Amino acid sequence: MANDTSAVSDALSPHSQSVADPFTPPADSSLWRKNFLLGAATASYQIEGAVNEDGRLPSIWDTFSATPGKVLAGDTGEVACDHYHRWEADVDLLAGLGFEGYRLSIAWPRVMDAAGAPNRKGIDFYKRVLARLKEKGITTSVTLYHWDLPQHLEDRGGWLNRDTAYRFADYADLMSRELAGSVDAWATLNEPWCSAFLGYGNGHHAPGLADTRYATQAMHHLLLAHGLAVPVLRANDPASQKGIVANIGRGTANSGSAADQRAAHLFEVQHNAWILDPLLKGSYPRDLFELWPGTEPLVLDGDMQTIAAPLDFLGINYYFRTNVASDGAHGFRDVPLEGVERTQMGWEVYPDGLRDLLTGFKATYANLPPIYITENGMASDDKVIDGHVEDSQRISFLKRHLAAVDQAIKAGVEIRGYFLWSLMDNFEWAFGYERRFGVVHVDYATQKRTIKRSAELVSKFLKERKARSE
């Protein structure tokens, strides 16, 4: 059979059953626990499309992707996966595969006008999506900010403007009042490192500014926005969990020299501690400003206490490691390793990095909250051949990273769930549509969804685990 969405009711084809299962975890794995949540994740700008419909305002990614040379092949999110119109079938696909949780984000420009008033059509869209997810028994994890800042706020300075943090709190207030009771977990921000550094530090992402001083100030305002939003979310939707999602990176030294070891430490300071220290210690790491001297942000009285608001969970996104050496001054330089496995993105496949970071965080932060792996996955150049997509590297990638999660759990880290990235192929930011992260293939010309081999095997495991627990 052709395993497209018409066959979701039986996600495992005869073709897949004839091949030995290379995915199912061993019997002693923590992943068999009934209360370990397994889900899939997406983000609004990457899948929704419909950028000009029902009152949605322009975002910084609409502007950035329309700027020549910013996105590979000139791709934009104008149509993406057309999820705005196909959401019912996509939710049915998610449920048919057996996923227990779904992480989605809300498009800020879709739910508020420039004056901050509610856009009812946009809000109602998310109400319908969440209601259907609940009907299917799927745990809902909602991210308020997955990079699509309204352009009118960027025109007033974006995350360099402290006022944006207060506008974010207004947005969090509106959405948590409108969606109270339909969201199991709220995440304020997705990957503030990317928003701050890629958006304002090196210009690779929207809005495309490039100054390290901008990056540190943008980060401060992003984290302030998070801290301002948490008590609002607690007041409006007390039954839900509240947290934030950080992308983490493993840095390893190119040699045993003290200089290279210091370089690896500084890599992890700027990639991990820059975010986690303010959240969990109430201060920025001093070493950050050794790396970037003279870039200290403007911090007002009370800001750090606001940022360090207690969390119910910490979302962790992990993809690869970076091997570094000293740059001969006070920083580091990348030294790519030869002969290692890499993905379509050119990222090294390094599951041990996830385990090592998680156990390291447990040792570093006495108040480390429960963790969800909110993104983990890989891009590959997937093709549909005779109705099937064989993505063997992804199957191996997922199995090995889930094994690393299991190792961290057995080492004492409280990890409550795992969301693979991503449910379906989508707009991969500056790389457009060339890089495919989904476990479901999307033909962008026809919008046909085709279940990949990885999705078949994950589905098989999910259904077997459910059957065991009944």
Which residues form the catalytic set? 375
Dist. CA 126–CA 131, nearest whole Å: 8
C-alpha distances (whole Å) from 261 to each of 251, 338, 350 are 10, 20, 19
Q: Of 341, 347, 437, 445, which is closest to residue 389 (Cα–Cα)?
A: 437
State the sign of the Cα–Cα–Cα–Cα dihedral 45, 47, 52, 55.
negative
Residue 123 amino acid letter? I
**Is 1 exposed, middle or buried (CB count within 10 Å of its CB: 0-12, 13-18, 19+)?**
exposed
Dist. CA 187–CA 142, nearest whole Å: 6
Dist. CA 248–CA 101, nearest whole Å: 22
Contact 286, 278 (CB under 8 A): no
Output the CA angle 153-156-157, nearest 5 degrees. Answer: 95
Contact 176, 123 (CB under 8 A): no
Q: Which two tokens stand for residue 261?
A: 């070891």
Helix, strand or coil, per DSSP, at residue 275: helix
CB atoms within 10 A of CB 404: 21
* Mode of pairing for the β-strands spanning 139-145 and 185-190: parallel
DSSP string over 189-243: EE-HHIIIIIIIIS-SSTT----HHHHHHHHHHHHHHHHHHHHHHHHH-TTSEEE
DSSP string over 280-331: HHSS--HHHHHHSTT-PPP--TTHHHHHT---SEEEEEEEEEEEEEE-SSSS
Beta bridge partners of 448: 443
**Side-chain half-sphere CA neighbours of 316 within 13 A:** 29
Residue 330 amino acid letter? H
